[in-house]
Amino acid sequence: MTAAESLEELAVLAESAGAEVLDRILQTRPAPDPATLIGAGKVAELAELAAASEASLILFDRDLTGPQIRNLERELQCKVLDRTQLILDIFARRARTREGQLQVELAQLNYLLPRLTGRGAAMSRLGGGIGTRGPGETKLETDRRRIWTRISKIERQLRTVRSTRTIQRKKRESVPLATVALVGYTNAGKSSLFNRLTGAGVLADAKMFATLDPTVRQMALPSRRRALLSDTVGFIRNLPTTLVKAFRATLEEVSEAALLLHVVDAASPYAETHFSHVLEVLAEIGAASTPQLVVLNKTDLLPPQEATAMAEALGRRLAAQRGGGGPALDLHQMTPASARTGEGLERIAALMDGMLDLDPVSEMRLHLPAGEGAALHMIHEYGRPREIRYDESGVWVRADLPQSIQRRLQQYAKRGTLPATPLI
């Protein structure tokens, strides 16, 4: 991704946070300036531009140190944020569950801790007051101590969350339901696709990071098996390390999934770059070897030949990324789709059905005594009946059933062909 493309993404992030982008500026230097990142001359130019446009906030597409933020705010006379701080602010606005709020606060505190030296009076909310300082303790030491105390408390609370999540996962695993996690670059259309596949009402917005808190819903596959589909937070280039660590409890849904539904915005000019960045994050959280079904979303915005070319290019990229570390992704494991129009959804479900090997489906022959309506309902609900014949002894059934259902109906199992009774 070029510097101009990165700056464009920063503008989209700013608009997602509710800001109005007034202007953009690029600086090329052989090395970053330790005091201001961009150098004294560029700072003076930026100060004039900010004053002329009456800007109240200046965003940098690079991480800034504490002294750099202090120096820039003094010279520019307005608030300064770097890229990571902007992303953290968006996460803080969008988190709705208690778990998400704790994860964002932990990430903010971990990012703030090494930058206390430059914040000056801005940190007064964390310290000050009678009885808050020990003998000879400076304000900086007080601030650090209070942050460390808060971090320890949040980490204890998140351990409880992880414990609860582990218990819930074990309960789910006691029932043979495979978990499929939706992953992808932010704003690729994951939530829209999730709603289409499950009928859920998850917020789907064009803004980046419109949904943060994970949502799990059940969906029926063509074989009548059930799968759990999990919608997760979108990834982004240079996702802050503090966020990856803080959201590890949420990302466990990805690392524990049997299949990843990797959603790519095929209409984006940066689709291949976004695809590569998602692969990097998946490798970081230990999910690089998990089978993937790549969904080229928004193909309704592309001519058909461009969607095919995109599939071929992404297939080569994934093969190169894995470099022999895992099975290469075949082109038949990629499929074009449109969450907006519904095109390709049936093929997605069929491919998911074929790629999930949990609770495999096979043919079974059964004889149900008269009055076993519950067993017959189970066959219709979770299986695919091939033949149903009735006689005076009950009901004869030949059906494709998951192994878990076969075990529950084993007492009715029969061998051979069905008797020549009336076919229903």
Whether the CB-CB separation of 177 and 227 falls below 8 Å is answered with yes
The CATH class of the 3-89 domain is: alpha beta
**pTM of the predicted protein model:** 0.67
CA dist 138 and 140 (Å) reads 5
Q: CATH 3.40.50.11060 region(s) of the chain?
A: 3-89
pLDDT in tens, 96-121: 677 778 888 888 888 888 877 544 44
The answer to whether 345 touches 337, Cβ cutoff 8 Å, is yes
- Return the amino acid letter for 242: T
Determine how β-strand 394-402 pairs with β-strand 384-391.
antiparallel
Q: What is the mean pLDDT of the chain?
A: 79
Q: What element of type H or E holds 402?
A: strand 394-402
Rounded to a whole number of angstroms, the CA Rg of the chain reads 27
Task: Give the contacts of 337 (CB within 8 A, at least 6 positions apart).
Answer: 193, 295, 296, 297, 299, 343, 344, 345, 347, 348
The percentage of residues in the chain with a pLDDT greater than 70, rounded to a whole number, is 78
Within the chain, all domains assigned CATH 3.40.50.300 are found at 176-355
Return the CATH fold of 176-355: Rossmann fold (3.40.50)
Q: Picking from 94-98, 258-262, 397-401, 420-424, which range would have the lowest pLDDT averaged per residue?
A: 420-424
pLDDT at 159: 82
Going by pLDDT thresholds of 50, 70 and 90, the confidence category of residue 128 is: very low
**CA separation for the pair 312, 281 (Å, rounded):** 22
How many C-alpha atoms does 358 have within 13 Å on its Cβ side?
18
Decide which of 321 and 399 is more confident.
399
Return the pLDDT at 302: 82
**CA angle, corner 374, sides to 373 and 376, nearest 5?**
65
